[in-house]
Amino acid sequence: MDERLRVNPILCSGHGLCAELFPEQITLDEWGYPILSDEPVPRGLSKLARRAVTDCPALALALVRHG
C-alpha cells in the first residue's frame, strides 16, 4: 500500500509552492506547472508530501493510495 502524488490539472494554476516544498518528487516545467514523479512517496518523506498537499493554494494536489 503506497502513496502517490496526483495533481488536478484543471484546478492547478501554477503557484509552484509544491515544487518548493517537495522538490524530491515535484519539479516545475518551463511554464511553471508541476511535473510529478511516478514513483511512490518514500516513507520518510510522507510528511513533506502532506505539507505540499495542504499548502497548495488551489487544493490541486492530492495523495492517493495505490495497491
Partner 1 sequence: MTTGTALWYASRATGVVCLVLFSVVAILGIMVNRQGRLPGLPRFVVTGLHRNLSLLTVAFLGMHIVTAIADGYVHIPLLSTIVPFTSGYERFWIGLGTVAVDLMVAVIVTSLLRDRLAPAVWRSVHWLSYVSYPVAVVHSMGASKDLQSGWLLALTMTSVFAVATAIGYRVNDAFASVPRSHRVPQQLVRADRTGSLR
Partner 2 sequence: MTAAIRENATDRSNTGATQLPRVLSPTGAPMDLLAHLKVHGDTPYRGGPRMLIHTIESAGLTGRGGAAFPTHRKLTAVADQKGIPVVVGNGAEGEPASDKDKLLLWSSPHLVLDGLQLAAEAVGARRVHLYVHRHPELLQRLRSALAERATAGLDRIAVGLVAAPPRFLAGEETALASRVEGGSALPRFAPPRIFERGVDGAPTLVQNVETLAQIALISRYGPAWFRAIGTEQEPGSMLTTLRPADGGGGVAETAIGTPITELLRLAEHPARAVLVGGYHGAWLTPEQAGHLTLSNADLRPFGAAVGAGVLVALPTDRCGIVESARVVRYLALESAGQCGPCLNGLPRIAATFSALANRQFARSALEDLQRWSTLVERRGACHHPDGTVRFLRSALNVFSDEVTLHAAGRCSAGTTAPFLPIPTATPSYEEDWS
Q: Does 50 bind partner 1 (CB under 8 A)?
A: yes
Q: Does 42 bind partner 1 (CB under 8 A)?
A: no
Count of positions on this chain that bind partner 1 (CB under 8 A) = 17
Report residue 63: phi and psi, to 5°. Answer: -105, 125
Stretch that binds partner 2, among 17-25, 26-34, 44-52 (CB under 8 A): 26-34
CA atoms within 13 A on the CB side of 59: 0
Report residue 52: phi and psi, to 5°. Answer: -60, -40
Binding site for partner 1 (CB under 8 A): 8, 11, 13-17, 20-21, 50, 53-55, 57-60
